[in-house]
Amino acid sequence: MSKICEICGKKPLTGCHVSHAHNVNKRRFNPNLQRVRSVRNGIVRKILVCTNCIKSGRIVKAP
């Protein structure tokens, strides 16, 4: 399962862990994805959505 928001397309970004001694290791910044029951095109489905899309009202939650 890929970590991509089905509404806005937000996906993981890459960066570095940087220690106090400036040792650098690769890391991933994953989006905060939640599985939500929503209505899309008249069909109720479970979709992976980032919390930003949930808060902003871009999806319609199923009753």
Chunked into runs of 10 residues, the chain (63 residues) has average pLDDT values of 91 97 98 95 94 95 89
pTM metric for this prediction: 0.81
- Cα three-residue angle 15-52-7, rounded to 5 degrees: 95
Domain count, the chain: 1
H helix runs in the chain, sequence order:
51-56
Q: What is the CATH number of the domain that holds 19?
A: 2.30.170.40
Q: Give the single-character DSSP code of 59.
A: S
- pLDDT for the residue numbered 2: 86
Q: Which residue range forms the structural domain that includes residue 29?
A: 1-63
